[in-house]
Copies of this chain bind each other. A is one copy, B any other.
Amino acid sequence: CAAKLPAACGLTEFVGTAIGHTIGLVIANVDSSLHEQMKIDKKYRSIGILGARTGAGPHIFAADEAVKATNSEIILIELPRDTEGGAGHGSLILFGAEDVSDARRAVEVALSEVERTFGDVYGNSAGHLEFQYTARASTALNKAFGAPLGQSFGITVGGPAAIGVLLADTAAKAATVDAVGYSSPGNGGTSFSNEVIFTFSGDSGAVRQAIVAAREVGKQVLKAMEPDEDLPSSTTPYI
């Protein structure tokens, strides 16, 4: 496990950290004036907070596992333009729960999943590729991408955006999948990141097949932009 050991942070709100300058926090009882400013449903007294400088897809797929595994719900998913000078997004994800232990547990699960969901993120100095897959989409993926609940769902992401267009076409041609969405730098589905994101659902095998084909093409093209650099997985490929 490449996750950093948390520092000796004595705050009860601190849950932990993970790859991508990811941090997990929890607030047991959100201040009422802030609750109103944040426009959060009153029933969520406790919130879990998952945020990162680098990574949105990995965190949304990790959050999806967290809501499946815990008694919590997704309140908000926002994608800042970040990645510390890279082409993509960071993330801010809020879990709501009536009980603080549920909110904390959701953040813990998400932090532990991020290690896996960075597995098919590949980068060099020219850009990055990202692929994600789940056999059964839950509410985080539905909220962020409009994924049909309970179905297999996958995404291809390429930055610079030009590469993302080719990944989308490759995935769409490689298997019979249902296109769910297509986001580009200026169409509202990104925060002006330099990415194209293609999302699709369908038969589990077809979704994986589409991803594997796009991944193969993407690696060749991104490698061609910086032939002398490696293009490693951020952790360990899982798809």
Knowing A21-B160, A25-B221, A78-B161 touch, does A181 contact B37 (C-beta < 8 A)? yes
- B-contact bits for A19-51, CB 8 A (1 contact / 0 none): 001011101001101101110000000010111
- Checking B25, B127, B179, B225 against A165 with a beta-carbon cut-off of 8 angstroms, the contacting residue is B25
Nearest neighbor of A17 in chain B, beta-carbon distance: B225
Do A160 and B52 contact each other (CB < 8 Å), given the known contacts A34-B198, A179-B34? yes
Residue of B nearest to A181 (CB): B37
**Are A33 and B179 in contact (CB-based, < 8 A)?**
yes
Chain B's nearest CB lies how many Å from the CB of A233? 20
Known A-B contacts A198-B34, A220-B11; the reply to A92 vs B192 at CB < 8 A is: no
A224 within 8 A of B: yes
Q: Which B residues lie within 8 Å of A179 (CB)?
A: 33-34, 36-37
B194 engages A7 (CB within 8 Å) = no
Asked if B81 and A81 sit within 8 Å, CB to CB, the answer is yes
- In angstroms, Cα B96 to Cα A165, docked, is 14
| Number of chain copies forming the complex | 3
Q: Which residues of B contact A195 (CB under 8 A)?
A: 80
Of all chain B residues, the one with the shortest Cβ separation from A127 is: B53
Interface size on A, residues (CB 8 A): 77
- Decide if A51 touches B163 in the complex (CB within 8 Å): yes
Which A residues between 163 and 190 are near B, CB-CB below 8 angstroms? 163, 165-166, 168-169, 172-173, 178-179, 181-182, 184-187, 190
Chain B residues lying within 8 Å of A76, measured Cβ to Cβ, are 184
The one of B17, B37, B78 in contact with A182, judged by C-beta atoms closer than 8 angstroms, is: B37
Bound Cα distance A84, B7 (Å): 27
A1 contacts the other chain (Cβ, under 8 Å)? no
Q: A161 to B82, alpha carbons, bound, how many Å?
A: 11
A185 and B92 contact, CB distance less than 8 A: yes
* A69 at the B interface (CB under 8 A): no
Bound: A106/B2 CA distance, A: 45
Chain B residue, CB-CB nearest to A38 = B182
Complex formed: what's the CA distance from A92 to B78 in Å?
23
